[in-house]
Structure 1
Amino acid sequence: MKKPDPVLELATEHVLRAAANDALRPEIESFFDPSTFTVTYVVHDPATREAAIIDSVLDFEPNSGRTATASSDKVVDYIAKHNLKVTWLLETHAHADHFSAAPYLQEKLGGKIAIGAEITTVQDVFGKLFNAGTAFERDGSQFDVLFEDGDTFTIGQIPVVVMHVPGHTPADIAYVVGDAVFTGDTMFMPDYGTARADFPGGNARKLFRSLRRILSLPPETRLFLCHDYLPKGRTTYVWETTVAAEREGNIHAHDGVSEDEFVQMRDARDATLDMPRLILPAVQVNMRAGHMPPPDDNGVTYLKIPINAV
């Protein structure tokens, strides 16, 4: 007999309440960064104007080692134009494909930087890989808040439930905000499938179970994805779907796909994939909540590239 999942039950209750009450439905604006295929979201409560920013992007040019704020400044401008108050800067996980702009946005707009509590596992693994030394704390203290599975908070008057959805990384979480779920990299649009599970600490079996957990929410639940990549046959980027659409048509995880079938597919597919272009610089920054490593004696900050590391 399947064990009850109280977090899923709570999330389902919130989705159904929001579906029946417009006051509990957030307003959502998306910002797509074509260079990293990343979507940043501003989610706000229309009644109180309180807002959260989810999965922000700091521009980075690896050829020159230069950062810029053009992407995040669009978010700043939107916040100002709509007279919003930022209370949360939320990360779904430590991204491997872009730098987080959370510290920059916090300086400009305020808000608490938050991520899943399992970020400490990521910090331990990558702290060793990058030989970050004892000065690099591996307790998540670079973040203002570490969320556990089932934690709740609010954006204005709109309740939020945190769901731990590991598999892509150990620390992945999804945010259930009213009738909307921000899934991070766990899944993509139905015609593109699901996230890879071969990063350190990733696990295809855990990913399948996380997918089924999200897809056990009501069919009408809105899903907002962290990325979109154009599969063959599609010419327009899309990053919003529903539980029903994913259950019916996700090419990797639609209803009827067994756990073993998924794991076999995911492991075989992941073995053919190159590492993300920015994984080595991005993880060094994002495991620090978007802060750069401390500068060297000459005042310049450096990012490390391990050579032939195991």
Structure 2
Amino acid sequence: MNLFGTLKYQELKTKFQVKRPWDDVIIFVLNVLIAIPIFIIIHQNLKDPDWFFNIDRILIGIILLILIQLILRLIRTILILGIVTYLIILIYGTVFSGYGFESVFQDYGYMIYSMTENPNPQDIVISKLLPFPNKNQIVNAIEYNHPKVRNFALTATTLHFKDIKGQHEHRKMIQCFAVFKEIRNRWNYVNDPKGQEYIAHATESLIHFSGDCDDHAILMAACIRAVGGTPRLIHTGGHIYPEMLVGQKSELEAAVYLIKEVLFITESKNKEIHYHIDERGQIWLNLDYTARYPGGPFMSEEILGALTLN
């Protein structure tokens, strides 16, 4: 019985063995395919120490490749089974909207792009450093649930970036960027009446797309909120501007890639992406009227307070 079992094992082992040098080629390819998603997961969840030239990530990648290579060589005899299992997992994820081939390539692209680019984080913003000026008036003016605001925001999403393919998981972010683009293209800066702080409601600003910085911030916040985004307003003393919640570092990588490689290629060429990190580690992207693309330069004024629309 033992002899029969041994013979069957040897027969199975021989059947699934790959002859040299193809076994080394297959091991290397499989190593890369396995290492990419594992490296992405490590990269997204490991705090970035900001080492020069991302040396920490390079070392992690090299160590990961060596470890996987050693493991694959140990299971060389069942290599084909390993490949088939890996492909089945990715095919299953692709068919049932899980983590499939497209997700692997997208995440890898975001990661590589963010490591080669130079986004520009600012100091941590502590919410409510000082009472937000005219807070109640501003909150009432951000009419995100008004039909006119909602309809304008929906129109913006049909005018810009509607046909972007392969970015379903970032659809809300792209639609918020579409809102930014439409308002930015139409906005006309006009001062308040002399000696008066005039706060326009979002529906009022939709008539002429004109007003000062707080009017722009109110309209932008209302429209971003109307399509599911999370906006906040930043107060600097002489200026108020809107920001949009991006999320954690992995979402920032996707945002940087979309802005610079897909949606705002010309406007952001050779430019940095500007954002703030709050006390909870969440990333907020600048949407000021002075910026030509989401994450454009700040006006470099001291931050006095923040008003978040939850």
TM-score range, shorter chain: under 0.3
Q: Larger Rg: 1 or 2?
A: 2
- In the superposition, the TM-score normalised over structure 2's length comes to 0.22
Which protein has the bigger strand share?
1
TM-score (norm: length of structure 1): 0.22
**Higher fraction of helix:** 2
